[in-house]
Amino acid sequence: MHKLPTSSAEKGVSFTVADFMEAGRDRLQLRLLAGGARLDRIIREPVVNRCGLALTGFFDSFAASRVQLIGNAEAAYLRSLAHEEREERFKALIDHKAWLFIFTAGREPGSWLTDLAERSGAVVLASELPTRYFARLATFILEQLGAPRTSLYGTMVEVCGLGVLFEGDPGLGKSETALGLIKRGSALIADDLTCIRKDVASNLVFGSASDATQGYMEIRGIGILDVASVFGVNAIRGEKRLGLVITFKRLVEIRGEVDRIGQTRRTRKILGVDVPNIVIPVSEGRDLVNLVETAAQQQKLIASGYNPVAELSERLRRRAEQPQSLKRKGRTHGR
């Protein structure tokens, strides 16, 4: 069995036809018709392409390196051609460097194409799915396989609907904080090591656990926890958009550097995307669970356009501009 790609790359992950077939085994219903010896070829451009015009001999702007779909329209056109011309048109596609073809809607080309593919080094697949469904699902799988990705040491939790990643030195309480949040209704995404994927179209990053560790946590003094078994299935999540990075640092290390009012907006660049970042000082007696939950709620307000620092500054400005008599009157009514 071929393994799915696991390497990290900021510009995208290389993957083969075999990886694509493995990832889409169930959803795409793929069958191999020709080119079984070349399943290790790299799919350089993870996009599907309808090669209709190219079959007529028009090759301007032909995206040869993409996955070529042969749907009902293309199949009907091929059937309208004489055998020699049909083979000649398809050979022209291969001569223009197209090499991966997928017949959809349960159509198969016959031995004329499979023999040509074996001679020319092409790969031919088939699927029972209608072309429009296949194209949508294949696009999603190709984007998933080729997406820029990396791994970060840290624990990620869904807090108040926001994906929050905790990072910091070992022993600062990342997993314990996550555990406290889970007991208050949050959900674990990944513990200790978080896999990050970038969605190129939306320029957003998403976090998840590795397949091997999803749903498990390590708590010092307790050991390994199966979170779903202890807290229920609602206590775990799959993939979640990363909306906030919280960096835990010992207070003694950053004394005097803490932003007391939150005026400075920090970000962490992850796979080229700026993710909001705050630093929370860790010291004995600080309630990290409460602080993280509050930080997540605050970040959701800020993301919606609300700026508490600007709001307070404007309130103080208006008060400073009031006549002294109004200020004294306000203090009197306050009593």
**Residue 330 is assigned to a structural domain of this protein:** no
Q: Are residues 170 and 264 in the same domain?
A: yes
* pLDDT of 34 over the 60 cut: yes
Cα–Cα distance measured from residue 301 to residue 290, given in angstroms and rounded to the nearest whole number? 17
Q: Are residues 142 and 241 in the same domain?
A: no
User: What share of the chain has pLDDT > 90, as a percent?
Assistant: 66
What pTM was estimated for this model as a whole? 0.74
**Residue 3 is assigned to a structural domain of this protein:** no
Q: Tens digits of per-residue pLDDT, 144-159? A: 898 899 999 999 999 9
Q: Are residues 57 and 175 in the same domain?
A: no
**Residue 320 is assigned to a structural domain of this protein:** no
Helix (H, G, I), strand (E, B) or coil at 95: helix
Residue where a domain stops, chosen among 146, 173, 196: 146
pLDDT of res. 327? 56
pLDDT of res. 214? 94
* pLDDT of 10 over the 80 cut: no
pLDDT of res. 263? 62
pLDDT of res. 6? 44
Number of domains forming the structure of the chain:
2
Q: Are residues 187 and 127 in the same domain?
A: no
Q: Are residues 183 and 290 in the same domain?
A: yes
Cα–Cα distance measured from residue 29 to residue 14, given in angstroms and rounded to the nearest whole number? 22
Which amino acid is located at 115 in the chain? D
CATH number, domain containing residue 32: 3.40.1390.20
* pLDDT of 324 over the 90 cut: no
**Interacting residues of 154 by C-beta distance below 8 A, sequence separation 6+:** 165, 166, 167, 168, 174, 192, 193, 194, 245
**Residue 292 is assigned to a structural domain of this protein:** yes
CA 48 vs CA 44, 78, 141, 215: distances in Å: 12, 19, 11, 34
Q: Tens digits of per-residue pLDDT, 191-245? A: 999 999 999 888 999 999 998 899 999 998 899 999 999 999 999 999 999 999 9
CATH number, domain containing residue 173: 3.40.50.300
Cα–Cα distance measured from residue 271 to residue 276, given in angstroms and rounded to the nearest whole number? 14
Q: Are residues 43 and 111 in the same domain?
A: yes
Residue where a domain stops, chosen among 128, 146, 164: 146
* pLDDT of 2 over the 50 cut: no
Q: Are residues 225 and 295 in the same domain?
A: yes
**Residue 107 is assigned to a structural domain of this protein:** yes
Q: Are residues 222 and 263 in the same domain?
A: yes
Q: Are residues 297 and 161 in the same domain?
A: yes
Q: Are residues 57 and 169 in the same domain?
A: no
| DSSP character string of 108-176 | ---HHHHHHHHHHT-EEEEESS-HHHHHHHHHHHHHHHHS-EEEEESEEEEETTEEEEEEESTTSSHHH
Mean pLDDT of the chain: 88
For residues 247 and 278, the answer to whether their CB atoms sit within 8 Å is: yes
**Residue 81 is assigned to a structural domain of this protein:** yes
Regarding predicted confidence, which is higher, 68 or 13? 68
Q: Are residues 23 and 135 in the same domain?
A: yes
User: What share of the chain has pLDDT > 70, as a percent?
Assistant: 90
Residue where a domain stops, chosen among 124, 146, 168: 146
Q: Are residues 169 and 248 in the same domain?
A: yes
Structural domain harbouring 270: 150-304
For residues 196 and 207, the answer to whether their CB atoms sit within 8 Å is: yes
**Residue 318 is assigned to a structural domain of this protein:** no
Q: Tens digits of per-residue pLDDT, 246-284? A: 999 988 877 666 666 566 678 999 999 999 999 999 988
Q: Where are the beta strands (DSSP E) in 191-239?
A: 193-199, 204-208, 216-219, 223-226
